[in-house]
Amino acid sequence: MSNNFYFYPLGILLLFFAACKPSSPEGAPEKARLSTQRLSPAAYPSANAAAGFALVELFTSEGCSSCPPADKVAAEMARLADSTRVPVYVLAYHVDYWNRLGWHDRFSAPEFSARQNWYAQIWQSSQMYTPQWWSMVRWSL
């Protein structure tokens, strides 16, 4: 058995969500199931952990006018992962390169911009922009 890490476009990750079904007791009312589930490591059975997980990273900024819709998608994706008990972890990094254009993002850090640059180098991309998504899926074979 080997562990493999793969990076995928966001669309493939959304297909992953579509194929997953909630793991909750049969006959439990939908509203009750959703209201009692919380995002925590204990919420995911070990079988799911052995099967794998997905990591979704959003590079965003308060100075970016097109980022608020992406921030909402990230929040909804995290909510969906929680409600379906699918091991998907959504992270948002506020980059600092918008700061020099006059809008200082209070959540920004140079390390987040460096991380985005690292992904661009891995994928041999010359483009770094916000909002930008990167995703990684890991599973055991």
Going along the chain from its start, the domains and CATH numbers come out as: 3-16+48-140 (3.40.30)
Residue pair 67/130 in contact by the 8 Å Cβ criterion: yes
Among 131, 11, 135, 8, CA closest to 71: 131
Task: Give the model's pLDDT for residue 93.
Answer: 98
**What single string gives the DSSP state of each residue in 13-25?**
HHHHHHH------
Task: Give the model's pLDDT for residue 58.
Answer: 97
Residue pair 52/87 in contact by the 8 Å Cβ criterion: yes
As averages over each run of 10 residues, the pLDDT of the chain (141 residues) reads 44 50 42 40 50 91 95 95 93 96 93 96 92 82 47
> Amino acid letter at 127?
Q
Beta partners for 135? 8, 56
pTM over 0.85: no
Task: Give the model's pLDDT for residue 139.
Answer: 64
